Amino acid sequence: MINVAIDGPAGAGKSSIAKAVAKDTGYIYADTGALYRSVAYYMISRNISPDDTAEIIAALDGLEISLTYKDGQQRVIAAGEDVSDKIRTPEVSMGASKVSAVPEVRTFLFDLQKKIAAENNIIMDGRDIGTVVLPDAQLKIFLTASAEERARRRFAELEGTEGVTFESILADIIKRDENDMNRAVSPLKQADDAVLVDTTDMTIEEVITLLEKMIKETEEKES
């Protein structure tokens, strides 16, 4: 099996790019960020604050999360509910950054991620895939872009949404970067053997082409 680990900060385009590359290569795509978002959504929907570590840990006992694939698209099921379309709000995004710093949450999701990777040619993206979840992945990529460029892209996706401004998105991204890089457990960092890809001045098509070339080279090396 070939495992491709893609790490990087919020808004770097990891999910969009990984989905496109997986579709072109026939690999399974696993969006680990969606798993953490689903935990955050579950807590928020039950009026549990993402800052209340004790309550979060207690609530994990009643939570089951799974990934399914429908028409080639990943769907996230949390507590029997398809939450795939409900976990992309700024509130859930910030909540995900907070719950992901809880060691018990990371342990809770770790086995699921490892199981998926062991059974498939997979492209998995997140914050600590190459450093913690799949340290033996055959290809590791650290995908990034400037905070301003990441905010611009996210604003374009959410433009027209009430209360969403470029300034608020940029502030959220800067705050989330700080949270992710400075948390005590599995902080965001580039693995020593990861390839750095800065997409600030690249189109999504250019990034996809580059990653597919890297995967092809990895397959040839492993064959």
Tell me: the pLDDT tens digits for 201-214?
999 999 999 999 99
Looking at residue 185, its pLDDT comes to 78
Strands (E), the chain: 3-7, 28-31, 65-70, 73-78, 81-82, 122-126, 139-144, 195-198
Instruction: Taking residues 137-156, report their average pLDDT.
Output: 95
Q: Is the pLDDT of residue 46 over 90?
A: yes
Instruction: Taking residues 19-46, report their average pLDDT.
Output: 92
SS3 state at 181: helix
Structure confidence by residue, pLDDT tens digits, 49-94: 999 999 999 999 989 998 887 776 788 999 999 999 999 888 999 9
**pTM, two decimal places:** 0.78
Q: Which architecture does CATH list for 3-222?
A: 3-Layer(aba) Sandwich (3.40)
Quick one: pLDDT band at residue 143, thresholds 50, 70, 90?
very high
Looking at residue 135, its pLDDT comes to 95
Q: Are 190 and 136 in contact (CB under 8 A)?
A: no
